[in-house]
Amino acid sequence: MLKNIEELNGMREAGKLASEVLEMIGSFVKPGISTGELDKICNEYIIDIQKAIPANVGYRGFEKTLCTSINQVICHGIPDFNRILKNGDIMNIDVTVIKDGWHGDTSKMFLVGKTQAHNERLINITQECLYKGIEAVKPGARLGDIGHAIQTHAEKNYYSVVEEYCGHGIGKIYHDEPQILHYGLANSGQEIVEGMCFTIEPMINIGSKFTKLLSDGWTVETQDGRNSAQWEHTIYVNESGAEILTLRKEENL
């Protein structure tokens, strides 16, 4: 659904709140804290401070506010008070906030303590993949251009792109059409038009692209057990390109 200016302002507010959750939680991410504690802090912040709704709670049976995906977990990791962060872990925190019915969806990679250089490289290249996908967005381009830009940069750096999970349209509906694949052919797929809102959220693996779903029905890991990284933004297509609705203060874009 294309957004008018009033609807865009609602999306801007939801996106801003989502980005602020990630800015707030960063100082708490350190060895010794549990993912359950991080989840509790964010839940209380969204409800009590932002006066908003944590979109994940109760969504399709999910019980937590965040997805906390550590090391070989690609996405949808479930926060747990028994999962203690260790020095050297890498973790994606994915959060979605609802404000006045509008969804803001974003995620960020965090380094826990001092991590190995190859993990840091994976995180940096994955963020570059996100930015290259965003750069491909403009009216008249096609959705395949986004995936092509991401896949090209990932594979040039000897990484693989997860294919089973993708970005999505977003607004009053959390996961809407169109699907935004993070791989594909340039000049293919649906035309991008002004007024679209969707997420771009590449998942990039050190090893193979293959995945496995754990018995909890949510947690997705790499099949080979090697690490994975992900970054996500919600964007709006304007007349000249993309406005990033979940931009954080630390990002110089």
Taking only the tens place, the pLDDT of each residue in 40-77 is 999 999 999 999 999 999 999 999 999 999 999 999 99
pTM of this prediction exceeds 0.95? yes
* Mean pLDDT score of the chain: 97
Q: Which CATH number is 112's domain given?
A: 3.90.230.10
Question: Is residue 251 domain-resident?
Answer: no
**Average pLDDT, stretch 172-196?**
97
> Is residue 51 a part of any domain in this protein?
yes
Would residue 252 count as lying in a domain?
Answer: no
Looking at the chain, the whole-number percentage of residues with pLDDT higher than 70 is 100
pLDDT of residue 253 exceeding 80: no
Residue pair 189/167 in contact (Cβ under 8 Å)? The answer is no
Evaluate whether residue 250 is within a structural domain. no
Task: Please list the residues that pair with 161 across neighbouring strands.
Answer: 204
Take residue 252 and report the two structure tokens written for it: 């110089």
Q: What are 162's two structure tokens?
A: 């997860």
Contact between residue 199 and residue 245 where contact means Cβ atoms under 8 Å apart: no
**Edge-to-edge strand ranges of the sheet holding 73-75:** 73-75, 220-222, 211-213
Give the E-state strand segments of the chain in sequence order: 53-54, 66-70, 73-75, 90-99, 102-111, 160-161, 167-169, 176-180, 197-200, 203-205, 211-213, 220-222, 228-230, 233-237, 242-244
Angle at 247 between CA 245 and CA 251, to 5 degrees: 160
The reply to whether 249 falls in a domain is no
Residue 252 pLDDT > 90, yes or no?
Answer: no
pLDDT of residue 35: 98
When pLDDT is averaged across residues 79-91 and rounded to a whole number, the result is 98
| Domain extent at residue 102 | 5-244
Helix, strand and coil content of the chain, in percent to the nearest 5, comes to 30, 25, 45
pLDDT score, position 110:
98
Q: What domain count does the chain have?
A: 1
